[in-house]
Homo-oligomer: A and B are copies of this chain.
Amino acid sequence: MKKPLIFITNDDGIFSKGIRTLVETVKPYGRVVVIAPDKPQSGMGHAITINNVLRMAKSDIFDDVETYTCTGTPVDCVKLGIYELMKRKPDLLLSGINHGANTSTSVLYSGTMSAAVEGAMEGIPSIGFSLADYDSEADFTASKKAVQMTLDKILQNPMPHGVCLNVNVPKIASSEFKGLKVCRAAHAYWEDRFDKREDQYGNPYYWLTGEFSNEDKGEDTDLFALGQGFASVVPVQFDLTAYHAMAELNSWGF
């Protein structure tokens, strides 16, 4: 069987431990090509660069792996990779491993997951991986297992149509990691807050901050699975139409 072409990107940037872990874990599975942002792009969601130009540069950061950095967002990396660099669709697109969880509604803000969603829009089997630990030196041992277990499944089964996978790994010792569990995204939210400060001229500026708040106690959620020592696997779709709401809207008599 021909080795699959595996495209890797992330949103923490090329120098993060998470993407290094992903590249090293995935290498035995196929031919790996990496295009990742040249700087952190966390929180960029599905942003694309349309009012500025993009640059791409070859990098030798990973041994024996064709690697490029890009000045743009994670979704820019996906588009550049497919349409300019590879000139074909890879067999698999992997994004991450993100430093920090992308559970519940965080998916919308996540550059890691938006890269995977972009892959799904291109019809490529795509998976985003995140570890629930923001530390730049986080322990990715359990994450490596989760990546391997996911790849073993994805290489044997066709991805459901119009869907990518969102895999979140708990912050847990590898020996306590219980495996993967298919989940729905919890209905949880960021309670935002702004930290207002003054610059050296007395002018105000703001840092976005806040706390993640979960009142969804469902045992079928990603947050519940993480709390139990499992990695959560949530199928994520890019068709945002709320079909269930169409009848109600039609009753408004537009």
Contacts and interface: CB of A to CB of B under 8 A. Distances in A.
Given A46-B109, A48-B43, A187-B239, A56 B246 contact: no
A3 interface: no
Contacts of A245: 160, 163, 235, 237
Nearest to A118: B108
30 contacts: A40-B51, A43-B50, A43-B51, A46-B47, A46-B109, A46-B114, A47-B109, A53-B206, A53-B207, A54-B194, A54-B206, A55-B204, A79-B192, A79-B208, A80-B194, A80-B206, A83-B192, A83-B193, A84-B196, A108-B117, A121-B189, A157-B252, A160-B249, A181-B254, A182-B246, A234-B241, A236-B241, A237-B241, A237-B242, A240-B240
B252 A153 contact: yes
Given A50-B43, A185-B240, A254-B180, A248 B160 contact: yes
Nearest to A247: B182
A73 B160 CA distance: 33
A241 B184 contact: yes
A177 to B, nearest CB: 13
A38 to B, nearest CB: 14
B55 A206 contact: yes
A58 to B, nearest CB: 11
Interface of A: 40, 42-51, 53-56, 73, 75-76, 79-80, 82-84, 105, 107-109, 114, 117, 121, 149, 153, 156-157, 160, 162-163, 165, 179-182, 184-185, 187, 189, 192-194, 196-197, 203-208, 210, 233-246, 248-250, 252-254
Contacts of A149: 254
Nearest to A207: B53
Nearest to A52: B207
B240 A246 contact: no
A246 B254 contact: no
Contacts of A42: 50-51
